[in-house]
Structure 1
Amino acid sequence: MNFDQTSQSEVNNSQSVNLTNENFVQEVIEKSKSIPVIVDFWAPWCEPCKQIAPILDKLVASSNGRVVLTKMNIDEHPEISQQLQIQSIPAILGFHNGQPVDGFVGVQPESAIKAFVEKLADLNGPSDNDMALEQGRTLFSEKNYNEALEIFGKIAQSEPDNITALSMLANCYLKLNEIDIAKEIISNIESPDKDKNQDYVSAKSQIDILEKSEDSNIDEEEIKNLEKELEEKPDNHQLRYDVAIGFMSKGNYEQAMSHLLFIIEKDRMWNDEAPRKSLLEIFNALGPTDDLAIEGRKKLSSILFS
């Protein structure tokens, strides 16, 4: 989209403050002593400035008041930029406690600008949502899933792109056996960083396990029948694997892991390493800090490297 000077003015919405030589000290230096302040140095003729402006506006707005955005037209007010030795625009500076603490020049990927804004916001200490996330995690670990769900839902409403809040919301619905809702939440997370988020990986892995079990059509009664048959044929890996998949589908990961580890110990390459791959799905579903996952990883390592 092309912006003229009027468009740039429209971008300077209620989330930002237009700076002048007269108000710079008050709006930047003094204000940054209580909240981080971003200064966007721009000019009407600067095309890259017009590209970066709406990105800054959006990201600062999503910080929920933890960062203030200000903008200075260097054509109208050149003195400040000269004092700061700004030689190229767009130039973005972050101020904290009256001093510039971070910044960049030129157009950057949105992910880099987001990291810049978040870094400044973190100078305030934990946000309300950060503290709420920890409260929600505590409730989740105590199996108070309905209360945790309410907290994660509120965070997701205020931060629609918060991968952790959305993923934990899905994890709550999975624990409450609301599988379709969990699937919808996870499928709607579009961030390219989602696979780096352990809470997302956990929810997605649980859903994958459930979908795999749906394909196998194993119910509780059939699991019992398979276990009886397994007692008579303990070396039948396919039978044992079917039992493990059945336990996985019911969320009984401890029993499933026991059977999968047994097969791996007997024949680690069986069925193109299907037991090991299923075991890794369980580890992902549980997360790296879960005691059962930690113990399972130790046992798997002991088998593989013995």
Structure 2
Amino acid sequence: MSKKDRRRVLAQIWGTPTSHDIDMVDEGDQIVVFSNYRGVVGWWMEIFKTYYPNIKCKEKGDTIKIKPTVGVTIKLNKTTRLMKVYGKDHWPWFVDTFEILLDIGNGDAVELPSEGGSISENSVTRYLQLNKDDEEVQDLLDRIPEGGGIMHHEFIMRLWKSLLDDWFGVGAAVYIVTPRIDSERLFQIMLLMIRNKGTGFKVTLMTPAKQIDGERFDKIMERTRRRIKEVQGQQGARLVSDVKLEWVMLSLNVQHSEFSTNFIAAHKDEEGEVLTTTAHFHKSHFHHQQKDNVSYCRLSPHDLRKNYLLPLNIGNNVF
């Protein structure tokens, strides 16, 4: 199996809902799983004992060594909180078993205490400059005049991020429609996806293959992927690992069409929401003293599909 295929498999496993953030790296001869939570080693041990009731472990210093099956060895370090999975059969065991182990761990999911929070998730939150205590979505929506109005670029950017975060967080089907998007906005969408992994959301980005300013979307995506690999979080580590980036690429549904409207929308159960604006999701509207129309409404999923999605040939298979 190629490195790309192995990364895709790990991305699918990483996408399993967990009560806290973990990450994983494929080093070829071993897979390293890590988390910043203080109680993660005890959490792993409870999972292994549940799935393997007769499992034996050897403890020496800070290291716990267990052999879940023939050809597989696992080492847990209580200081670094690293789990190393190796042995001649470590890959097939990991592929066949690890999602099951994560599901067991979520059977009684409890948010574990952390030191400074989860490195990945909290860094993502800081990078996004999201603080829901100060910036509740409803407070922002209440500032939009009835029937819509002209709003400032900074307000539109805060509302754009907060609404998407809220919709991803409740597991909605989300649609982002714009004729022009830049790598910063695309990067923020990806971080919002990572922040809300496990909620079951679906996201579709509709944008022209050739943007209205002439730039091709595939170039924007290429620049975004390079940017993701360069941005660092705490302690000099990458903000987004290769596995998380692969999961985003697998989860983000990109469609291309020609149009000139801008909106974000979502539906879940029997409720739908739409935020329309004249602002492109691009730095030319969000980084300058720009003012644009903004309008927000709640509507039925049927009307969302009929009036907003079907005219753009999206949403045909989601209702």
Give the alignment's TM-score, normalised by structure 1. 0.33
Give the strand-richer structure, 1 or 2: 2
Give the alignment's TM-score, normalised by structure 2. 0.32
Give the helix-richer structure, 1 or 2: 1
More contact order relative to length (CA 8 Å, sep ≥ 6) = 2
